[in-house]
Amino acid sequence: MGNITLRILARELKLSTATVSKALTNSHEISEKTKQRVLDLAQKLNYTPNPYASGLRNKKSRTIAVILPEVADSFFAQVIDGIESVAQEKGYHILIRLTHESFQKEQAILKDLRGGRADGILISVSSETRDSSHIRELQQKGIPLVFFDRVCEDIETAKVVTDDFDSAYQATRHLLQRGCRRVAFLYISPDLSISYQRMEGYKKALADHQLSWQLSDMVACTHDPVANHRILTGLMSRAHPPDGVIATVEKLVTGIYLACQELELRIPWQVKVIGFSNLPSAMLLNPSLTTITQPAFEMGKAAVSLLFRELEGKPISGEPMVIPSVLVVRGSTAL
Amino acid sequence: MGNITLRILARELKLSTATVSKALTNSHEISEKTKQRVLDLAQKLNYTPNPYASGLRNKKSRTIAVILPEVADSFFAQVIDGIESVAQEKGYHILIRLTHESFQKEQAILKDLRGGRADGILISVSSETRDSSHIRELQQKGIPLVFFDRVCEDIETAKVVTDDFDSAYQATRHLLQRGCRRVAFLYISPDLSISYQRMEGYKKALADHQLSWQLSDMVACTHDPVANHRILTGLMSRAHPPDGVIATVEKLVTGIYLACQELELRIPWQVKVIGFSNLPSAMLLNPSLTTITQPAFEMGKAAVSLLFRELEGKPISGEPMVIPSVLVVRGSTAL
DNA sequence: GTGAAAGCGCTAACAT
DNA sequence: ATGTTAGCGCTTTCAC
């Protein structure tokens, strides 16, 4: 299926490809008449330039790669939405790559990106990522890179995060103020920047209420719902189970609700629950879920905007950009 | 930032670019020794071929475009997941394009795809799409195209759908069997293939129960939550409100739950609700939601697999591929 | 077994 | 105002 090319237009119009090219980019060195002829034919033949050819020539792909752990998660889905809203305006295309929380996959994906497939990269690292040399390598090649949400603290580049420390602090304080005395903290990976920040916020809130944190109350969960179910029913059937739970990951909310249901622990009476979640249905849960709601869409927009600034050679502030989350109080922490 | 190219490798090794290229693709015409030298240097310099250059040469981009209405929706997010799982294995890349339910955007996106940016297209049309000439044009250019979920019936190409008629039929029958006498049917666009199919299934179930359908019970909703809220509270505060509701779109579930909450209509006693939804949290809603759960991940996998078959020139069955949804009965339709 | 040369579709410097 | 030429980085005949 012979696609329409510049050359075909040129031949048809008895012009050179250079002239046609210039006419299509509305160059001032081309006469109005010629421009019109070119435009008319291009229109008629449904000509669309091959982006890879011009990209090759200009050494830019007008494509940005978005690397994230998963897409079937309301936070990441909303981030993509935010990214797309800006990229599309700028005529950029979005390549989505999922790591499924695997460090190996993340490495492979970044390696693949060295060849010039994308002009810039937006990344939220996998929960397994401890070493960041694969990312640094890309950076040294001069490819602009912006972290969002899950950052590598040891890499100096633009970052967009939410106030993880503060929101965990607020969540914990809220539970304590509502009478909880033993608050469990559920997280996935201790290596993640966000887990660490949130954990510190949690500890600080406990300390500010003259409570000391217990290692056994900080519960590491997994990506496997079945394993999580075991872990969480285990937690809630301890001799002294927590009377408050903070699920710092959306998918752990389901786990803790189910565990409580199964053990016939009534939320919020026997245990109060807060979830870091962007689910629109939080208000419809049984009971409605008190959440830390993250500015997912805005984070996506901010991250891609920073990336564009870099691509345009404008200066970027050294400090991570922080967009606050909000505590939305609902039934799961009612008195 | 001078990227590593074939030419650089060649110069360094005092070989021609042709030899290096062949060595890298493990051609049998190259000696083992040379191959090893090339591979070693490539490794050392972190060489990654420019995909657009080879794409230009080979006239394939190893990229597929996925066009969908939105991403912040559990169905579409899971579809993407399924698509990625296969594409990634085949070394293909995924370009995501969102129409936000706009026909105009859909046209623009497809137009942009004419230039060879993608080797194939997966699409679920916008709710505004009535005319399909923009899609047909791409098809005539010989670009393989697979529809998923929301198809254009008048375009002959591979399609992956779920059993919309049957699942709506089942949903309706379930409500009738649970004692509902007046079932409302909420949908977004009458132009969508899936809306039509579901509507027919709904009507058929009513007919099979000796009930005639009422135009006023088939309620067209929008994409705007505020407008939907008005529509749905209007519906539920009629003189004779429905005692059963089928929300054929995930986002309408929230709307109907909230409307009932506000009007103090108790689900399932005063009204029973079924939602077409893939939300993992359906079981946690208040009350837990009876759903038609669609095989989103599988549909994504199936669609991209069909696309690969086409790309490989293998034959495709003319019939749409149908992957069944399942009715999951929960609290919102309890007796 | 290796290399020279052409060309994918486009653009930009440099003629004319 | 238009054309010639060269080249982006790669692959693929076709020679040697």
Strand D contact with A6 (CB < 7 A) = no
Q: Which of A81, A114, A58 is nearest to A304 (CA)?
A: A81
* pLDDT for A42 beyond 80: yes
Chain A (233-252) residues lying within 8 Å, Cβ to Cβ, of chain B: 251
**What average pLDDT does the segment A108-136 reach?**
95
Judge: A279–B284 Cβ closer than 8 Å, yes or no: no
* pLDDT for A22 beyond 60: yes
* Nearest CB to B96 within list A94, A116, A286: A94
* pLDDT for A252 beyond 90: yes
Judge: B56–A49 Cβ closer than 8 Å, yes or no: no
Q: Say how far apart CA A117 and CA A60 lie, in whole Å.
A: 9
C-alpha separations of B114 from A40, A45, B118 in Å = 17, 11, 8
Chain-wide mean pLDDT for chain B? 95
* Nearest CB to B115 within list A50, A258, A285: A50
pLDDT tens for residues B256-271? 999 999 999 999 999 9
Return the nearest residue to D2, CA–C1'.
A19
- With a CB cutoff of 8 Å and minimum separation 6, the contacts of B319 are none
Judge: B81–A73 Cβ closer than 8 Å, yes or no: no
Angstrom distance, A31 CA to D1 C1': 6
**Least Cα separation, residue A233 to chain B (angstroms):** 16
* pLDDT for A189 beyond 50: yes
Q: Say how far apart CA B324 and CA B234 lie, in whole Å.
A: 33
Q: What is the pLDDT of residue A2?
A: 65
**Least Cα separation, residue A148 to chain B (angstroms):** 18
Give A-chain residues touching B94 at CB under 8 angstroms. 95-97
**Least Cα separation, residue A200 to chain B (angstroms):** 29
Strand D contact with B139 (CB < 7 A) = no
* This model's pTM is above 0.85: yes
Ramachandran category for residue A285: left, alpha or beta (phi over 0 → left; psi -120 to 50 → alpha): beta
For B115, phi then psi, to 5°, come to -70, 0
Domains by residue range for chain B, with CATH: 6-49 (no CATH), 59-162+296-323 (3.40.50.2300), 164-293 (3.40.50.2300)
B148 three-state secondary structure: strand
Percentage of residues of chain B with pLDDT beyond 70:
99
Chain B CB within 8 Å of residue A94 CB: yes
* pLDDT for B115 beyond 50: yes
C-alpha separations of B213 from A35, B182, B216, B256 in Å = 58, 9, 9, 20
Closest residue in A to B74 (Cα) is: A72
User: B140, B145, B284: best mutation site toward chain A, by most A Cβ within 10 Å?
Assistant: B284
- What is the DSSP annotation of A203-222? HHHHHHTT----GGGEEE--
- Residue B5, nucleotide of least CA–C1' distance: D9
**Least Cα separation, residue A213 to chain B (angstroms):** 30
CA B172 from centre of chain: 24
**Least Cα separation, residue B267 to chain A (angstroms):** 12
User: Which of strand D's nucleotides are less than 7 A from any protein C-beta?
Assistant: 1-13
Judge: A71–B70 Cβ closer than 8 Å, yes or no: no
User: B1, B4, B24, B71: best mutation site toward chain A, by most A Cβ within 10 Å?
Assistant: B71
**What average pLDDT does the segment A147-155 reach?**
95
Angstrom distance, A40 CA to D9 C1': 33
Chain B CB within 8 Å of residue A330 CB: no
Give B-chain residues touching A51 at CB under 8 angstroms. 115-117
pLDDT tens for residues A292-327? 999 999 999 999 999 999 999 888 888 999 999 999
**What average pLDDT does the segment B65-89 reach?**
96
Give A-chain residues touching B53 at CB under 8 angstroms. 56
Judge: B71–A88 Cβ closer than 8 Å, yes or no: no
* Burial of residue B142 (number of CB atoms within 10 Å: 0-12, 13-18, 19+): exposed
* pLDDT for A1 beyond 80: no
* pLDDT for B335 beyond 90: no
Q: Say how far apart CA A162 and CA A320 lie, in whole Å.
A: 9
Q: What is the pLDDT of residue B318?
A: 82
Q: What is the pLDDT of residue A167?
A: 98
For B184, phi then psi, to 5°, come to -90, 150
Q: Say how far apart CA A260 and CA A258 lie, in whole Å.
A: 5
Q: Amino acid identity, residue A65? A: A
pLDDT tens for residues B209-251? 999 999 999 999 999 999 999 999 999 999 999 999 999 999 9
- What is the DSSP annotation of B85-112? HHHHHTT-EEEEEE-TT-HHHHHHHHHH
Angstrom distance, A30 CA to C15 C1': 16
Confidence of residue B1 (pLDDT cuts 50, 70, 90): very low
Q: What is the pLDDT of residue A173?
A: 98
Return the nearest residue to D3, CA–C1'.
A16
pLDDT tens for residues A215-249? 999 999 999 999 999 999 999 999 999 999 999 99
Angstrom distance, A116 CA to C5 C1': 26
Q: What is the pLDDT of residue B2?
A: 65
